[in-house]
Amino acid sequence: MATTIVPTEAHVTSRFQQIQDLERAYLLQNYARYPLALHRGKGCYVYDTDGKRYLDLISGIGVNSLGHAHPRIMKVIREQAGLLLHTSNLYYHEYQGRLAERLAKVSGLTRTFFCNSGTEAMEGALKMIRAHGNSIRTGKHEIISLENSFHGRTFGALSITGQSKYRNDFEPLLTGIRFVPRNDIEALEAAVSENTAGIVLEFIQGEGGIYSISEPFARKARELADRFNSLFVFDEIQCGVGRPGTYFAYQLLDPVVMPDIALIAKPMACGIPLGAIIANDKAASAIKPGMHGSTYGGGPLAGRVALEFFDILDELLPSINAVGSYFRMRLTELMRKFAFIKEIRGQGLMIGVELTFPCKQLVLDGIAQGILFNCTHDTVLRFLPPYILTEHDVDRAIALLTKILKKIKTTQV
């Protein structure tokens, strides 16, 4: 997070400057923002405070799943704002049960807890893991996670995040965490024991550079969790909820490898904060009345928006697959033109393009050209576009990317 990005002149307007100056004066300086202030969006495009248009291929890091100002989402937000925004969890409202029923149907799991973000979902899951282990015997509290994983910024989530750059400043973190390399079945077998209370995996590592776990690794993790009576958790906060072209990334496998718990957040309420822990009966039984809660979690606004989102998602899944394949095919064409593109990875509309050099400057070049994507794991261009992306949008993206890549070809490789 220490890198400072030097804005190109084109982006330093007086309006932008005012916004930046205020933030620099009054905000905690934890974000290295790009030099761009956004004002509004429509479909797959966003507009900055000067009215310049950008093709949005990052969608708020995988959050604006139906793009911007989607008419059906706008309608339910407007209606619900005039009815009831918040109830707390002291009372019932019309949408939590309905949304939990919907999640049970699409996930194959049974019970949901609602919260407000990915990291909060992870915290709840870690409590379920610990409570499950403790209910069996003292000492059964270890958690297995992957090297290079990312699970959030709060203490528990950070403790199982397998990248030291996020953790170092905050040690000591939770104890009893064992990290294994992705897809290393031997290491996984060696790490799991009678003391293991839970195994947590991202099916596709997002912040870690768009790397999928292999089918044998996923099946072995499930088998070991069963053998040692541990809870098996898929963190689908970035890679799930339609983004891979299925409701959940674990459904890409046939037969499906079912987790005991699936965690979701980002795209589910199209920009309204909402996260969830979806559990089977075994995992859910770890939490008894009074053991967990959230003031805002699963409020009527977020719940209603998410229900509308799932209605729309049902129809969108085939196109997420088709447009995602088309995007990867067009990127593969680029790979043939530019030797510094090492690999194209991903599923559906979660795509990583690995380069042979750090790609932060390319993100700035993208902003200058009117296209938004980001750079993760230093050398991976990451695309998490809205699910409404069309082949036409992909063609435009490829044209813009070609322009950008042509410029940097000789200078940066």
Q: Which stretch binds ligand PLP (CB under 6 A): 116-124, 251-259, 328-336, 346-354?
A: 116-124
Q: Which stretch binds ligand PLP (CB under 6 A): 146-154, 215-223, 298-306, 391-399?
A: 146-154
- My answer on whether omega of the bond before 358 falls inside 30° of 0, hence cis, is no
E runs forming strands in 270-368: 275-279, 341-347, 350-355
Residue closer to ligand PLP (CB basis): 118 or 198: 118
Give the nearest residue (CB) to ligand PLP: 118
117 binds ligand PLP (CB under 6 A): yes
Site for ligand PLP in 245-304 (CB under 6 A): 265
Distance, CA of 72 to CA of 57 (rounded, Å): 21
Q: Is 30 exposed, middle or buried (0-12, 13-18, 19+ CB in 10 A)?
A: exposed
Candidate residues 60, 67, 118, 209; the one interacting with ligand PLP per rule CB under 6 A: 118
φ/ψ of residue 119, rounded to 5: -65, -30
Distance, CA of 286 to CA of 274 (rounded, Å): 22
Q: Which stretch binds ligand PLP (CB under 6 A): 72-80, 231-239, 334-342, 344-352?
A: 231-239
Number of shown-chain residues binding ligand PLP (CB under 6 A): 15
Distance, CA of 95 to CA of 80 (rounded, Å): 11
Site for ligand PLP in 324-363 (CB under 6 A): none
Q: Which stretch binds ligand PLP (CB under 6 A): 35-43, 199-207, 333-341, 350-358?
A: 199-207
Q: How far is the first Cα of the chain from the last one, in angstroms, to the nearest whole number?
A: 24
Candidate residues 151, 222, 304, 330; the one interacting with ligand PLP per rule CB under 6 A: 151
Residue closer to ligand PLP (CB basis): 341 or 363: 363
- Residue 10 has what DSSP assignment? G
- My answer on whether omega of the bond before 267 falls inside 30° of 0, hence cis, is no
The interface mask with ligand PLP, positions 119-138, x = CB under 6 A, is x--x----------------
Distance, CA of 147 to CA of 359 (rounded, Å): 22
Which residues make up the interface to ligand PLP (CB under 6 A)? 61, 117-119, 122, 150-152, 202, 206-207, 235, 237-238, 265
